[in-house]
Amino acid sequence: MRKSLIVVAIAGALLMGSFSAASVEGSASSVEGKDKKAKSLFTRLGGKKGIKAVVDEFVNNCATDDRINKFFADTKKEPKRLAKFKDNLADQICQASGGPCKYKGKSMTAAHKGMGITDADFGALVEDLVKALDKFNVGATEKNELLGALGPMKSQIVGQ
Ligand code: HEM
Banded pLDDT at 9 (limits 50, 70, 90): very low
Amino acid at 56: D
- Buried b / exposed e over 126-154, threshold 16 CB at 10 Å, is eebbbebbeeeebeeebeebbeebbeebe
Hey, whose CA ends up nearest to atom 23 of ligand 1?
A: 157
pLDDT at 3 over 60: no
Q: What Rg value do the Cα atoms of the chain yield, rounded?
A: 27
Separation CA 91–CA 97 (nearest Å)? 10
Q: What is the mean pLDDT of residues 6-31?
A: 41
Ligand 1 centroid from CA 154, angstroms: 11
- Give the pLDDT score at 160: 94
Q: Which residue's alpha carbon is at the smallest distance from atom 20 of ligand 1? A: 112
The preferred substitution site among 51, 58, 85 for testing ligand 1, maximizing ligand atoms within 8 Å of CB, is 85
Indicate whether residue 130 lines ligand 1 (CB < 6 A): no
Cβ of 70 less than 6 Å from ligand 1? no
Binned at pLDDT 50, 70 and 90, residue 34 comes out as: low
User: Nearest CA to 138 among 82, 72, 93?
Assistant: 93
Over the stretch 85-107, which tens digit does the pLDDT of each residue have?
999 999 999 999 999 999 999 99
pLDDT in tens, 124-134: 999 999 999 99
Is the CB of residue 90 less than 8 Å from the CB of residue 48? yes
Q: Distance from CA of residue 90 to its chain's centroid?
A: 12
Ranges 5-9, 43-47, 69-73, 151-155: which has the least confidence:
5-9
Please give the DSSP secondary-structure letter assigned to residue 100.
Answer: S
Give the residue, by CA position, lying nearest to ligand 1 atom 17. 111
* pLDDT the model gives residue 38: 86
| Digit-coded pLDDT (tens) for 111-155 | 999 999 999 999 999 999 999 999 999 999 999 999 999 999 999
Cβ of residue 125 lying under 6 Å from some atom of ligand 1: yes
Residue 77 to residue 70: CA distance in whole angstroms: 12
Assign domain 41-157 to its CATH superfamily.
Globins (1.10.490.10)
Share of the chain above pLDDT 70, in %: 77
Tell me the CB-side half-sphere exposure of residue 147, using CA atoms within 13 A.
18
Pocket test for ligand 1, best of 70, 157, 158, 160 (most atoms within 8 A of CB): 157
Is residue 54 within 8 A of residue 133, CB to CB? The reply is: yes
